[in-house]
Amino acid sequence: MINKEVFLLPKRWQLLSGSWLKVIAMVSMAIDHVAGFLLRYHSDFTQPLFNVGHKQISWCFLMHCIGRLAFPLFAFLLVEGFLHTSNRMKYGRNLLLFALLSEIPFDLARRGSLFAAGQNVFFTLFLGFLALYAVDRWESGKDSAERLAVILFSLIGIGILFHTDYGSTGISFILLLYVLRKNRILQAAIGCSFLGSRWIAGLAFIPINLYNGRRGFIRGAFGKYFFYVFYPLHLLVIYFIRRMFM
């Protein structure tokens, strides 16, 4: 573990609170889902606007590019939540609860049926949380390296087996953010490389490195749980709009 804190940007540039990161993540996710689950059925949004080389750029493509910011931000917020929550058991329980509650809205928005292949991103975040918990126990000397390796491979295997959103890449990315949390330069450099074909998601490291470590304006039970509820709620809204108009 890297002990010395290293920042990519000067502290005077760190202007975004955790609340603003949540807002950016939710908005970018909603834009991505509107494009992928709704507008892709409408030819006006899938027709090319212009070409970049051999790549055709449409409204849906541009919206998906914005949406790529969401998962790295959610992964970063998960790590921050894990480090700063006063009750890790409750934090993990909430992730699992909303993973279960979000599955039907996710299936409806994605495939239009109650049962579809693949699990929503809350399951990925929950598996990532369990991975962080396992690493923390190893760091504190409560578990052996061998036990840690078995747990991590098992969690990644579960992600692959059940086709969780972002799967093994998502869980591994969460671990990477945690391990490199004190060196934002390495975190951004290796994180961008790790994302591979989703390279545009690396732009999420811009708001991440503008983060000032403060909670921000989202406070209290309502603000806290709205962050959870927004995910299944916006998926249901997208599904019903598609059913009504398309």
Residue 113's pLDDT is what?
82
Count of Cβ atoms closer than 10 Å to residue 214 Cβ: 12
Provide the CB-side half-sphere exposure for 179 (13 A, CA). Answer: 14
- Spatial distance between the Cα atoms of 232 and 108, rounded to a whole number of angstroms: 10
Q: Give whole-number Cα distances, 190 to 166, 180, 237, in Å.
A: 18, 9, 36
Residue 195's pLDDT is what?
78
Put residue 160 in one of left, alpha, beta given phi > 0 → left and psi -120 to 50 → alpha: alpha
**DSSP string over 184-217:** HHHHHHHHHHHHGGGGGGGGGHHHHHTB-S---S
Contacts of 244 (CB under 8 A, 6+ apart): none
User: Residue for token digits 């998502």?
Assistant: 170
Per-residue pLDDT tens over the stretch 90-128:
999 999 999 999 999 999 999 888 877 789 999 999 999
Which of 196, 168, 213 lies closest to 68 in space, CA to CA? Answer: 196
Residue 6's pLDDT is what?
85
* Percentage of the chain exceeding pLDDT 70: 97
Residue 17's pLDDT is what?
95
Residue 197's pLDDT is what?
64
Residue 97's pLDDT is what?
97
Q: What is the mean pLDDT of residues 146-155?
A: 97
Q: How confident is the model at residue 9 (pLDDT cuts 50, 70, 90)?
A: confident
Count of Cβ atoms closer than 10 Å to residue 172 Cβ: 18
Average pLDDT score, the chain: 91
Q: Is the pLDDT of residue 3 over 60?
A: no
Q: What is the mean pLDDT of residues 21-43?
A: 95
